[in-house]
Amino acid sequence: DIQMTQSPSSLSASVGDRVTITCRASQSINNYLNWYQQKPGKAPQLLIYAASSLQSGVPSRFSGSGSGTFFTLTISSLQVEDFATYFCQQSYRAPRTFGQGSKVEIK
């Protein structure tokens, strides 16, 4: 199975901060990388697909980059509604494994 490792597992940030979360794959997955946001008690929502494509309706402050084994999710200016947990997921090969999650908390 392809292992996905996110960093950091949690971080504290302030409104307006630039936040970057990284995701590493245990082998090359080209650009088969998706990012999801999950708020407490809610289902995950797709943010970014194919490493850098913004899902419809997602604010442009979210962006993704990377290919191969290293990927990043960046929030350019953190908003109150962005405090949540973020998961990366590879869709290159079954099983479609997720990273362990990165929780963004209010400083």
Partner 1 sequence: EVQLVESGGTLVQPGGSLRLSCGASGFTFSSHSMNWVRQAPGKGLEWISYISSTTATVYYADSVKGRFTISRDNAKNSVYLQMNSLRVEDTAVYYCARDAMTTIPRFDSWGQGTLVTVSS
Q: How far does CA 61 lie from the centroid of its chain?
A: 13
Q: Say whether residue 97 binds partner 1 (CB under 8 A).
A: yes
Q: Report the residue from 34, 37, 71, 82 that binds partner 1 according to the rule CB under 8 A.
A: 34
As a whole number of angstroms, the distance between CA 68 and CA 71 comes to 8
Q: Which is nearer to partner 1, 16 or 57 (CB)?
A: 57
- State the minimum distance, in angstroms, from the CB of residue 13 to partner 1: 21
Q: Say whether residue 86 binds partner 1 (CB under 8 A).
A: no
Q: Which helix (H) or strand (E) holds 67?
A: strand 62-67
As a whole number of angstroms, the distance between CA 6 and CA 36 comes to 13
Q: Report the residue from 2, 13, 46, 54 that binds partner 1 according to the rule CB under 8 A.
A: 46
80: helix, coil or strand?
A: helix
Q: Say whether residue 68 binds partner 1 (CB under 8 A).
A: no
24: helix, coil or strand?
A: strand
- Point out which residues bind partner 1 (CB under 8 A): 1, 31-32, 34, 36, 38, 42-46, 49-50, 55, 87, 89, 91, 94-101
